Structure 1
Amino acid sequence: MKKWLAVYFGFTKREFNGLMTLFVLIGLMMSFPYLYGLVKEEEQVTEAEQQAVLTLALLDKKKLSDKKEYNFEQPTVKRKVSLFAFDPNRIGVEEWIKLGLSAKQAGAILKYRAKGGQFRKKEDLRKMYTISLHMYQQWEPYIRIANDLENSPALNSKTYPKQVHIKLAPVVVEVNGADTTALDQIRGIGMTFANRIINYRERIGGFYKKEQLMEVFGLDSVKYEEIKDQVVVDVTKLKRINVNTAEFADFKNHPYIRYKQVNALIQYRKQHGNYSNIADLNKVAILNQETINRLAAYLEF
């Protein structure tokens, strides 16, 4: 064929070799799409196979995990229960544990009692979330609550001394001379309020009426109604201020008068002379009638 082409077309050897190379390149270019499709299809099949293998591996792992979880499940620990007669309002943690509760469950019952909770009848125990129905049924014959015991034949055969309630006379405290110990005896007034009352009393110079106690921080009208019949005031114990000799320091901590009002009171006196009576304070423009009325009990001329 090489000779025929050389004779027919007059190709030289070099031209013939170039022509063959061109044919080979054209053939490769024409077959490239087909070859690429085969390679792509092979890759896709391999990818699908890998996905299937991965899915099977995950399923096997889940089955193994479920099997392990089932095999290693810890058995429920049964607590030893000792049954004995008990009053749920009186026994402590150790007794509750002997009855079959955990320390945490027993603590919950004691916390309930500490907040004022009581078991007035056997059935009240069933209201506690820490006590199961099975536990209650075991305990029920052994529960002895004080109120229930009154009807017990064993107790009815015994005689108990009758309790005598002595009615104490109400305490009455004079608040302008009382210390914290005396104030603490007032029902509804603890040491916190006792200290607050004394601190406020020192600031204003004493109380000239009981209603002033409501000016003490935290002592509202409800608290006042509770204590008002237990207190009295002695106005002779008030600490008074002489307005004709007073300086700024004498009014410094008094809650009834402000700094500017004190300054105006003193400056007016220096310019116009001493005050004769409470009415003269109306001449100080910055002092309103409400302020004058509140201060009147603490001033002298």
Structure 2
Amino acid sequence: MRKNYYQKLAFMGGLLILLLTFQKYTSREKEDFPEIRFITESTVPLDLDDFNPNDLDEKQWQHLGFSEKQTATILNYKKIVGGTFTSKEQFRKCYAVSPEKFAELKAFLMLPETGREAHSEKFKSYEKKEITVSKRFNPDRFSAGEWISMGFSEKQAEAILKYRNYLGGSFVSKEKFRECFIISSENYSKLEPYLVLPEKTPDGFKHSGQHYSTASKIQYRSFDPNALDMSGWRALGFSEKQAQTIVNYRDRNLKGSFTSLEDIQKCFVISPEKFAELRPYIKLSPDINKKQESRQETDFSKTDLNTITFKQLLEFGLDERSAGSMLGFRKKLGGFVNKQQILDTYNIDKEMVQKLISTCLLNTSNVPKYSLTDAPEEWLKDHPYFKYSAEKIIFYRTSYHDDKKILKLLKLKPEYEERMKLYLK
């Protein structure tokens, strides 16, 4: 019994030694196990510069440490919010951007902190356009180009002309002029002292192509439209303002004479119904074409597109809208550098402008050009090709004095960079 007892005891002791040895061996393996590291969104430290998240493409987002799926989510989110991030607050709400990643990027985002600041900045940029007027003027005689030169945008000028046409070709009074929705109260207060218009709207005014209804029917007789003065047109049923517009159209735009029935029909204050009434009685002088040929005309083959005037553009055949748009864009640029820029102008008759640029010369010697390091801030902020990058340029040139380096930091699309270079020394 004792021998059997000792055998069992020896067996238990051996088993205990084996267990201790196994435990010691396994604990060594745990000590040699490599250190666990969790992969974060960006394991490589980023050398960041200030950037606008609206300018980044897919590869640039991935360069910032985002995965393909995260990048796709960010770009889709940008589309959902209207195509652009308007504030840091809005960018932070994108669920593909973790709080840690946002904290890393926040200081470099070229965006307002909140949506309210973005709205106020946008409003301020709109208000930067100053309306300037130095002398009394009749708004009934203003073309689109003249409204643009006063400080209104192309679309605003077009809207003003449409409103005038709606009234029948004349604003009639300061009261009616003030009702034009495109003219703010502030701008009206600037223009009001210079308006050559009556204060009050006359009784009986109607905006239906003719200003006043006539109780008695007009007795028409044959007439030469080139021989009529204002009183002659008023005798045909037109108001004083309409008569003045017709005379101005004939004397200024057509250089003194209607050469065809089509010329008369094109005058916007003469409605189709009124023209139909007048047509049987219109008698154009038979020698009018000879007078037209004997007139001194502009030699457009020697005319510079950077100095051509509004009247010369009308003489060539452009309508007022096309002429005003072209001259307005030329003024913003400081002059055209190549003819393609003219074709890229909004609201123009491209077919007619193509004929114009193939006929005229383009002298670029007087077009102002600067380097990015010495360009005036006002010029950068007003120029159509630079204004969206003006703040970045002003910021970068405080540290860098090389145009190539600044252009590289701007990370522009190739076509935008090429447009900038047209006006760089």
In which range does the TM-score fall when normalised by the shorter chain?
A: 0.3 to 0.5
TM-score (ref. length: structure 1):
0.40
Q: Which entry has the higher C-alpha Rg, 1 or 2?
A: 1
TM-score (ref. length: structure 2):
0.29
